[in-house]
Amino acid sequence: MSDRQVVRVRDVMTQDYGMVDGLTTIRDALDQFKAREASVLIINKRHEDDEFGILLISDIAKKVVAKDRAPERVNVYEVMAKPVISVDPQMDVRYCARLFENFGLSMAPVIKGGEILGVVSYNEIVLQGLV
């Protein structure tokens, strides 16, 4: 048996995110990234039966910049990923890392009871979870 202490997602998650509406333009989303120094934007639900979305800088690079689209003319809902795969704050970071690998994720919101508590990425898992 191992005496390894379990590190939970809640122990390494950050508040390094912003929240926007899906109708926000990519230009305004970029302003939010800069103003909040966020690594990710979570797209809010439009109604109770809706799901959260997620927007990464890499999404903007691939779907706006690389396709030479004007950021003022593209809305977040056209670029975001939705529904988002989320993790529970009680999850062991080892399983979170496996989930990321299995689904090709680099970051996920931490959600409990339909409420966003934070975000977790490989950076937090490695830099804080293994120390």
120 neighbors 90 (Cβ within 8 angstroms): no
Q: What are 10-22's pLDDT values in tens digits?
A: 999 999 999 999 9
**What is the average per-residue pLDDT within 37-66?**
95
For the chain, the structural domain boundaries read: 9-127
CATH 3.10.580.10 assigned to 9-127: yes
Average of per-residue pLDDT values in the chain: 93
> Residues of the chain with pLDDT > 90: what percent?
89
CA dihedral 49, 54, 55, 56 (to 10 degrees): 180
Burial (0-12, 13-18, 19+ Cβ within 10 Å), 44: middle
DSSP-derived 3-state class of residue 31: helix
Bigger pLDDT: 1 vs 58:
58
